Each structure stands twice: as C-alpha cells, then as structure tokens.
Amino acid sequence: MSVALTLGLTHKCCDCGIALKKEEIAYEIRGEYIDYIEHIPGDISIILCSGCRERMLHNMQSSQGDAILKRKMIEKDGPGPLKPLVFPEPEIDDFRTPDSAGTGM
C-alpha cells in the first residue's frame, strides 16, 4: 500500500480492525469497563466502523429469545461455556519482499 493510500487512516475499528479515516467513524463509546477475566477496571474508548455499528445495534435491539437461539446454534456440540474465539494471525506485508521481476515494487 502506498503512503498516499495510508494518509488519514489514523483510527481503527475496535471490532473488525479495519483502518478508518476520522470522518469514517460511525460510532464511539467512551466510559469505564470492568474486565472480569483479568479482574481489572479501567477507562475505554471504542470506535466502530459503520458495518460493526449496524451489527451491534441489531444485536442490541434483538430479543433475549433471539440471543438464546443464537447461543444454541453456537453450542451444537452440547451445553457448556462458550468456547473462546480464535482469530488467525494477520498476514503482515512489510514491503521487503521484492516482486518476481526484482524491481521491489
């Protein structure tokens, strides 16, 4: 990606991880949190892109019955705690690998 394409990409969606320009921020949540896994509180600012905003608002507006059905679909292997999500490591292109022609572009 050229430097010109990255100019202005100063923010990141906290859900999907896409780089955002300031004017592309669709939702921001600021406040306090409690991490019940690490047992620590803190302050947080969450930025979302428009797609993640729409998904979050849809989930917030859906019923508890819909949420239970969604969990049942995820837990088809049987009851128990939800399995942690595993995300693949992102591929990092550090622009150090030359192309096949040897131009480095």
Tens of pLDDT, residue by residue over 29-57, are 999 999 999 999 999 999 999 999 999 99
Residue 37 lies in a domain: yes
Does the residue 57 lie in any domain? yes
The pTM of the whole model exceeds 0.85 = no
46, burial (CB in 10 Å: exposed 0-12, middle 13-18, buried 19+): middle
Out of 33-37, 64-68, 73-77, 90-94, least confident range = 90-94
Number of domain units in the chain: 1
> Is there a domain that residue 64 lies in?
yes
Instruction: Give 105's Cβ-side CA count (13 Å radius).
Output: 2
Cβ atoms 105, 99 nearer than 8 A: yes
In a domain, 83, yes or no: no
Domain that holds residue 48: 9-74
Residue 81 located in a structural domain: no
